[in-house]
Amino acid sequence: MLDGRMMDFPLTLTHFLERARQLFPRTEVVSRRPDKSLHRHGWAEVHARASQLCNALTKLGVKRGSRVATLCWNHTQHLEAYLGVPAMGAIVHTLNLRLHPSELAYIGRHAEDEVVIVDRTLLPLLAKFRNEIPSLRHVIVVPDDGPATPEQGHDYEKLIAAERPEYAFPTLDERAAAMICYTSGTTGNPKGVVYTHRSCVLHTMAACMRDSLGVGEDDTILPVVPMFHAAAWGLPFAAAACGAKLVFPGPHLDAASLVELMAAEKVTVAAGVPTIWLGILALLDAAPKTHDLSSVRSMVIGGSAAPAAMIDGFAKRHGLEVTHAWGMTETNPLGTLSRLTRSFVGQSDEKKLAAKASQGITVPFVEARHVGDDGKPLARDGETMGELEVRGPWVASSYLGGEGAEKWTADGWFRTGDVVTIDKEGYVRITDRSKDVIKSGGEWISSVAIENALMAHPAVIEAAVFAGRHPKWDERPLAAIVCKAGQTVTADQLRAHLEPIFAKFWMPDDFLFVEQIPRTSTGKFLKSKLRDQFGDHLMPK
Ligand code: ADP
């Protein structure tokens, strides 16, 4: 064997922070406060402020491996923690502000957080659990709606103002932990996923590829997806790596505020969960020419399935392109992404839309297979359903504390809990999460496929299909329907709409009209709640 003779240069996030300062000092990071005012910092300033933060944290006793939690909306100070904390060798731990205080207490205790950086507007939430985290020594308050008092904690701005804007960032091992994100706990206790510098760097490089999210220096990126949800899908790191402009929405995530911000800052790439985009589509449909979104070249949608009707509506009615992506907290998070490969040239619009609405093909270095109950790989025929398993350099190898070891196979794959088909082109289609699967008389029914079809009905804005208990068939599909404002539809009309598309036994046994569909803290349909509420709807009374 001949050893290669190349430098063993560590793949650490510090490089991105330094590069952005050196090459793109004036490119802006724009941040919206609760009062809607916009604050602008160049990348050089972000670097300087991150360095000041690191100096302050060092004085507060933060060392290599210390956990620094954040309880924040998306904004510049959060970005400074994202980049500064890992660069000093500590670990940034993003807390999901939509979780219940008891879950936040559990997570904070489990991660052994020592410091928390919290928005002043979120102090009432912190007050509900801070005393339950014995390791927590310091509270740093981002003065988003006014200065913090000493009783509340250290005022972020005052704290960093007293520090030098340089920090001697250490050379780190690329396998050192950079960030901890917890799964949202829809499947049992939240589990801690520990990203390494290396996993974040490699993920960033893959995310920036043209066939992937394709972000570059000339992009203006709006992460609507919260920074506490799987590292805002890696976009803050990608922006730093390329020196792109970043726009943070702060707490204003309603459609009108987002559209206004996208138009004003000439956003080119925006990313969020389907609910956000459903709201934006409704707004654009109601007032088509009011907002100039001509700068937008890609709207990244993930976190749960993007309905085909929405992807089509954006493209046909507003000339806006959706990039549908799949990932998990455990995959840093990008795993697959739906772009049309050259094999779709000359194919029908219907086929193209079906591919765009699928979860797409794996990004380089993520490998995927789907397996049956016996753990054996299944045929890539686009029909056979099985559990998706993945592996790659940004896929978790275990959870913090070693819990949930059964999620990994003996031959080193991660069991995603998603039930999928994979076709011969490699396009993955999620049919369900395994815990939401509907098994009627032993046959699987894809709730996601039925939801997609229901959301294509002009009167339906959202539909969630879930398992109802059934005396004969064990389970039968039930559909919870939310109508568009001012529209109505009957169960018979919905049946007639589905009939040409699905086999008879896939037809929901009933349609339940609701005001809204319950959601998890990361915006997914909370089907367990629908099952609790309506699960016995078909059982004899
Ligand atoms: P949690 O697992 O804690 O709910 P995650 O955000 O990590 O939080 O969720 C990952 C899951 O979200 C995936 O396993 C999958 O079920 C779902 N998901 C993510 N993106 C998509 C997508 N594009 N289409 C369908 N489901 C998706």
Distance 302 CA to ligand 1 centre (A): 8
Whether ligand 1 lies within 6 angstroms of the CB of 430 is answered as: yes
Helix (H) or strand (E) holding 466: strand 460-470
Q: Which domain holds residue 448?
A: 438-534
Distance 12 CA to ligand 1 centre (A): 27
Whether ligand 1 lies within 6 angstroms of the CB of 432 is answered as: no
Q: Is 444 a catalytic residue?
A: yes
Which tokens sit at 429? 């289609």
List the residue whose alpha carbon is closest to atom 27 of ligand 1: 304
Whether ligand 1 lies within 6 angstroms of the CB of 186 is answered as: yes
Q: 50 Cβ partners below 8 Å, 6+ apart?
A: 17, 80, 81, 83, 84, 87, 167
Last residue of a domain, one of 145, 171, 196: 196
Last residue of a domain, one of 156, 176, 196: 196
- Residue 187 pLDDT class (50, 70, 90 cuts): low
Q: Is 439 a catalytic residue?
A: yes
Q: Is 330 a catalytic residue?
A: yes
Q: Across the strands, what pairs with 443?
A: 440
The pLDDT of 18-28, averaged and rounded, is 98
83 backbone dihedrals φ, ψ, rounded to 5°: -95, -40
The answer as to whether 292 is a domain residue is no
Q: At 176, is the secondary structure helix, strand, or coil?
A: coil
The answer as to whether 142 is a domain residue is yes
> End-to-end alpha-carbon separation of the chain, Å?
74
Last residue of a domain, one of 139, 169, 196: 196
pTM here is 0.95
Q: Beta strands 220-223 and 245-248: pairing type? A: parallel
Whether ligand 1 lies within 6 angstroms of the CB of 431 is answered as: no
Whether ligand 1 lies within 6 angstroms of the CB of 304 is answered as: yes
Q: Across the strands, what pairs with 40?
A: 30
Distance 328 CA to ligand 1 centre (A): 5
- Cβ atoms of 181 and 195 within 8 Å: the answer is yes
Which tokens sit at 279? 């709201």
pLDDT for the residue numbered 276: 94
Q: Is 409 a catalytic residue?
A: no
Residue 137: CATH number of its domain: 3.40.50.12780
* Total structural domains within the chain: 2
The answer as to whether 398 is a domain residue is no
The answer as to whether 117 is a domain residue is yes
Whether ligand 1 lies within 6 angstroms of the CB of 338 is answered as: no
In ligand 1, which atom is closest to the CA atom of 359? Answer: 23
The answer as to whether 87 is a domain residue is yes
How many CB atoms are closer than 10 A to CB 26? 9
Q: List, for residues 80-106, the tens digit of each pLDDT value.
A: 999 999 999 999 999 999 999 999 999
Q: List, for residues 360-393, the tens digit of each pLDDT value.
A: 999 999 999 999 999 999 999 999 999 999 999 9
In ligand 1, which atom is closest to the CA atom of 433? Answer: 16
The answer as to whether 331 is a domain residue is no
How many CB atoms are closer than 10 A to CB 36? 12
The answer as to whether 252 is a domain residue is no
Whether ligand 1 lies within 6 angstroms of the CB of 191 is answered as: no
Residue 359 CA, distance from chain mean position = 14
- Cβ atoms of 473 and 500 within 8 Å: the answer is no
pLDDT of residue 443 exceeding 90: no
The answer as to whether 273 is a domain residue is no
pLDDT for the residue numbered 29: 98
Residue 529: CATH number of its domain: 3.30.300.30
Mutating to test ligand 1, I would choose from 524, 526, 527, 529 the residue with most ligand atoms within 8 A of its C-beta, which is 524
Q: At 392, is the secondary structure helix, strand, or coil?
A: coil
CA atoms of 79 and 41, how far apart (whole Å): 11
pLDDT of residue 186 exceeding 70: no
CA atoms of 343 and 451, how far apart (whole Å): 27
Length of the chain: 541
